Amino acid sequence: MTWRPNHALSALVGIAALLGAAACASTAAPVGTERGRRKPDLAQTGLVDPLGGPLVPPPALRVKPSPNQTPNAVVELQLAALKRNDDPYPDAGIAIAYVFASPSSRAVTGEVRRFARLLKTARYRAMLDHRQAVVGEPILKNGYARVPAIVQTASGQYVGFVFQLSRQQSGPLAGCWLTDGVKRFDVPQPK
């Protein structure tokens, strides 16, 4: 049988689901800036954060949490944004991912620039500009979800992540699933 990247990636998601329960104990971190690239003035870019204040994406990219979104939909939105991180301007994908960060995550990671620095660390940068991602089945319990995902990096390596989400109970985002943290784990590399 010939190895196909998409089939291998799908098979690795099964491994992620098995590892997911053990891999969910820590939270994600935010991201930084690239040398020599001018960042947009966040106050002038158009997106209003549901928790108050402007964010990065212009009107064409306005996405926001909704009680209609499943945990998988939230993870898929974040990964899709991070896949095209610098489109239409540097770190636009990170700004979109930040929109789906929970208040408890933001309390730890801080504002969007600090979140960007965290995502650019070795632990999380595999999500930036990745080739493809497969999101597995969520594990749901008492208003919390763990969603495994396998990402094929720009260099072709496979990396696993477990997204930890919670359904917000109050405030302007009541009923929305938001990401509390992301835990990275290693996955076997196809030969």
- Residue 183 and residue 185: Cα distance in Å, rounded? 7
According to the model, what pLDDT value does residue 30 have? 33
**Res 15 pLDDT > 60:** no
According to the model, what pLDDT value does residue 145 have? 99
According to the model, what pLDDT value does residue 116 have? 94
Residue 50: Cβ within 10 Å count:
17
Which of 3-7, 86-90, 105-109, 121-125 has the weakest average pLDDT? Answer: 3-7
Which residues in 86-123 are b (16+ Cβ under 10 Å) and which e?
A: eeebbbbbbbbbbbbbbeebbebbeebbbbbbbbbeeb
Higher pLDDT, 8 or 144: 144
- Single-letter amino acid code for the residue at 33: T
Kindly list the structural domains of the chain, giving each domain's residue range(s) and its CATH number in brackets, ordered by start: 5-29+40-186 (3.10.450.100)
pTM beyond 0.75, yes or no: no
How does residue 52 score in pLDDT terms, banded at 50, 70 and 90? low
Q: What percent of the chain has pLDDT over 90?
A: 63
**Res 24 pLDDT > 90:** no
Question: Are 5 and 162 a contacting pair, CB within 8 Å?
Answer: no
Q: What would the pLDDT profile of 156-173 be if each residue is shown by its tens digit?
A: 999 999 999 999 999 999
